[in-house]
Amino acid sequence: MNCRETDPLLSAYLDGELDLMRALEVEAHTRECANCAARLKSARQLADAVSQASYHRAPSSLRMRVERPAASLWQRPAPWLALTASIVVAILVIGRADPTGDEVARAHLRSLRSGHLVDVAASGRRSVRPWFAEKLDYALDVEDISGRGFQLTGGRLDSLNGRTVAVLVYQRGTHVISVFVWPAAQNSDRNPTGAIREALSLVSWRAEGMNWWAVSDLNLSELEALPLCPCFMPVHETLRG
């Protein structure tokens, strides 16, 4: 893939709209091409800045004007049309998905492409948990859920937004599942939400003071059945039971 082919794909790559193979091609090119890498970095920084911008509720007078019938809008002078267009663009940009999902998807793809799925292999959680205890500045409980259809392969360290995080690696048949775990800034739990990014399924939630992101090429419904998340388990059943 060359610069001419890569350039029109950068926005789709950032939005998670490319299939797996095309996303890998874009990543491979931007690692070798400084110009395309710089354009991608600039676009990502802009998207991150917009997503973190303060939210301000529109005044009721502006809301009424925006919600007027289309016919009356076209009777407005050109400056008003320009303002309306800018509002629409801002809504579309701010409405982009959580950029953490993009980072998680890219980290998962890197591990698959390099063949570096785990730093420590496991036949069970007893060998993985002490390994993480020596590497992390937070405690991590490692669950062996092989009896539930998800075989624990091992664990590794990865980086998200400049922070070292734990990754638990599971396998379901031929499908690899990476589960990213790190301390949450908020104490409240958050119910799971699912998304599709770069032909990958992602499920994220917050529980017991930890952020959890699971990513795989499994169908989203299958990934949502991952029993690490207590929200998907019967109320009378726990992993530690």
Please give the single-letter amino acid code of residue 182. W
Q: What is the model's pLDDT at position 56?
A: 61
N- to C-terminal Cα separation, the chain: 52
Quick: pLDDT tens for 125-155: 567 888 899 899 888 888 778 788 888 899 9
For residue 39 the two structure tokens come to 């354009």
Q: What is the number of alpha carbons within 13 Å of residue 46 lying toward its C-beta?
A: 11
Integer Cα distance of 12 and 7 in angstroms: 10
Query: Is residue 72 over pLDDT 60?
Result: no
Domain ranges of the chain: 3-51, 60-94, 99-232
Task: Report pLDDT for 104.
Answer: 92
Between the alpha carbon of residue 133 and those of residues 111, 114, 157, 188, the distances in Å are: 22, 25, 12, 24
- Per CATH, the number for 99-232 is 3.30.200.100
The amino acid that residue 90 corresponds to is: A
Q: What is the pLDDT, as a whole number, of residue 83?
A: 40
Pairing status of strand 175-183 against strand 190-197: unpaired
Residue-wise pLDDT for 156-182, tens only, equals 999 888 889 999 999 999 999 999 999
